[in-house]
Amino acid sequence: MMAVGTLSIAVVPGYATIGLMAPVLVLIGRLLQGFSAGVELGGVSVYLSEIATPGNKGFYVSWQSGSQQVAVIFAALLGVTLASLLSPAQMDAWGWRVPLLVGCLIVPYLFYIRTSLPETEAFLEQTRHRRPTAGEILRSVAANWQVVLLGMMMVTMTTVSFYLITAYTPTYGREVLHLASTDALVVTLCVGVSNLVWLPVGGAISDRLGRFPVLVACTVLAIATAYPVISWLVAAPSFDRLLLSLLWLSFLYGSYNGAMVVYLTEIMPAEVRTSGFSLAYSLATATFGGFTPAICTWLIEVTGNRAIPGLWLSVAAVLGLVATLLSHRRAMAAERAAGVLVP
């Protein structure tokens, strides 16, 4: 699905050729990318959680998101190269398609990985007697809609911050802050490296301190600082300020997501762990994260406030904080009901 979505965007004819169908097809491609990202991340995250060594589950699972940062780094390097070789007119005409086409080259290898990895013992034990039918899975997901909704709210913080500091940075730096394209792409490259560092660190810290404190701390910091940091950036736009601002947001994203993904595998009931996780992640990515660049662009046009993306991130952080508090309360109540805790 990701391959179809990416390839469809890369080869879609322009507006001059097919009119309004061009943006419609791009939209469909983005939706396919968003849903497939959620589905794949769910399965891979659960797989990593099941093969993790005791006490290191957060660290293991964080590498799923960490591996995505390699793509961010590679895309930024490719963007810097294209920006130095092509004129702005060439980039707008056809250069933007090159990264998408290059990304499709890895598709055969991905199919190989999917068919070669062994199943985990936990999965084999669960399916030893009988595999659940699609109808049974759907009914289980529907019965657990509350935890899926909470998961979607927690993922919103992750997906909005990720798209804001990676996918939107080149456009924001060039079109809104009027910085050089290469400056914005270099910042994106640095953000990818920073994300790659902080994601496993966040996962490892959550293994030691617990998921809840890390999630609460990161969401509170995002609520308190996202808008002021972006306001400081737009007051005097520069390469240095853009870099410092996004490195701070990268720290919040990496630390939060390093703890959040593994937490999501833990709060989902076993019978819907993969499907519930995937649904929550897909919905958040397709409806909030994937549209973050478009939403930020629209908000800036409507309000005239170039710092409004920081407020959008704060709203996502509020959803993440509320979901974290509610899911923690549900978990505590379930433990008390099971007699694990002393009343």
- Give the highest mean pLDDT range of 3-12, 201-210, 261-270: 201-210
Q: 209-218 pLDDT, tens per residue? A: 999 999 999 9
Any idea where the domains of the chain sit in the sequence? 1-116+134-336
> Worst-scoring range by mean pLDDT, 102-106, 178-182, 222-226, 334-338?
334-338
Task: Report DSSP letters for 275-325, one per residue.
Answer: HHHHHHHHHHIIIIITTHHHHHHHHHHHH--TTHHHHHHHHHHHHHHHHHH
- Does the structural domain 1-116+134-336 have CATH classification 3.30.930.10? no
Residue 35 CB partners (closer than 8 Å, separation 6+): 1, 282, 285, 286
- Torsion-angle region of residue 341: left (phi > 0), alpha (psi -120 to 50) or beta? beta
Contact between residue 222 and residue 281 where contact means Cβ atoms under 8 Å apart: no
Joined tokens for residue 311:
């407020």
Q: 10, 26 in Cβ contact below 8 A?
A: no
Rounded to an integer, what distance in angstroms lies between the CA atom of residue 206 and that of residue 253?
Answer: 14
List pLDDT tens digits, range 313-338: 999 999 999 999 999 888 787 666 65
pTM comes to 0.81
